Amino acid sequence: MKPNRLTVSWPVLLAFGALLASAPALRLAADTPAAVPDAARTDSSGDAEAQLAAARRQLEQAAHEVARLSEQISGELIDQMMPLVETGHAIIGVQLDPAAGPSGARVREVSPGGPAAEAGIHAGDVIVAVNGQPVTGTAPARQVVKIMRDVKPDSRVTVRVLRDGKPREFVVTARAGPEFFAALHGMPELGSLAQLHGDFMFHRPLGELELVTLSPRLGSYFGSDKGVLVVRAGSEGPLKLEDGDVILAIDGREPTSGSHATRILGSYQPGEKVSLRILRQHKTLDLESVLPERADHTGMMQRDGPLPEPASPHRTVIFGNGDI
């Protein structure tokens, strides 16, 4: 029987198509005074902003739900395949063509937002060497996979490719793969990879945190040439950050962008300690916090057991108060 892939795809595509089609119409309606409903006309500015904030929260929750369920479903399949395939601890975010090429391993797909994509590798590039080791031969894709087994997460990998016949070299920062992630967090205790992501990745109570990657000019204003600027820390943020702080390091890892900081923060579980090195009003501080219990989809706190003692669910210790 032919696999029926469209059962899910049609509703998804229809919904998405409807959204895309309706966007310009909605925009036009909003710009036309006569199209403003009577009820909306009487809204005060505060009401509209409150409604917008609520809609934004719903949008965020819906996006999380799509991502969480998608990850959960794919996690089940990955769980089935993991014992059958030997993978490494680190990944660079490419899918290689298993067919043997004459000159190297052809990149069939580049993972969107993955390390290779960020470094500038394209689908169709032909990998001829990884970390100086040539991969030309009868099974170049297999050689690349084998080399990657020895690469550690966060290490820099030099990838030499042929693009349109011309050699180019890229430095890719490898990320942790599923095997490393499972080993690090004690997979047997936590359950499957599907659950691992479904339960922990999207329930961080960090929803109000807003970050900006420091540009050189912005960096000079804040007194740092690296790090990520906190433009909105949110109220009662568990990390005790303040607006205007610059995050220099998270447990020793230096975030290079807002996305990178999001990834690092997303790797912590509730109850885990997080150490931040920040710049606050040109002074370097070290903050230590413990992430509180996880929140459910609506951002409300959720506890599996009885309520703990009335002490704060998170603690923050500030130590050090000078430049390093």
Partner 1 sequence: MQPDLDQPGSLARVLRELPAAGAPPYPFAEFQRRARERTRPSRSLAGGRWLAAAAVGALAVVALSLRLHPHASVREPPLGDTAPLARAASPAPHAEIMERWLASLPREPGVVHVGTHQAVTGLEDRIAQVDDLLSAAGTQRQPPPQFVALQQERTRLIGALVQVRYAETLADESR
Distance between CA atoms of residues 284 and 272, nearest Å: 23
Distance between CA atoms of residues 98 and 140, nearest Å: 8
Report, in Å, the least distance between residue 21 CB and partner 1.
10
Distance between CA atoms of residues 174 and 155, nearest Å: 6
Report, in Å, the least distance between residue 197 CB and partner 1.
6
Report, in Å, the least distance between residue 150 CB and partner 1.
14
Distance between CA atoms of residues 128 and 170, nearest Å: 12
Please give the residues from 280 up to 319 whose contact with partner 1 meets the rule CB under 8 A: none
Determine how β-strand 246-250 pairs with β-strand 228-232. antiparallel
By CB under 8 A, residue 141 contacts partner 1: yes
Per-residue contact flags (x/-) with partner 1 for residues 142 to 161, judged by CB under 8 A? x-xx--x-------------
Report, in Å, the least distance between residue 232 CB and partner 1.
8
Distance between CA atoms of residues 108 and 140, nearest Å: 13
Count of residues that bind partner 1 according to CB under 8 A:
107
By CB under 8 A, residue 40 contacts partner 1: yes
Collapsing DSSP to helix, strand or coil, 73 comes out as: helix
Among 129, 209, 246, 278, binds partner 1 (CB under 8 A): 209
Task: Evaluate whether 240 touches 208 at the Cβ level (below 8 Å).
Answer: no
Please give the residues from 212 up to 251 whose contact with partner 1 meets the rule CB under 8 A: 212-213, 231
Please give the residues from 59 up to 78 whose contact with partner 1 meets the rule CB under 8 A: 59-60, 62-78
Report, in Å, the least distance between residue 202 CB and partner 1.
6
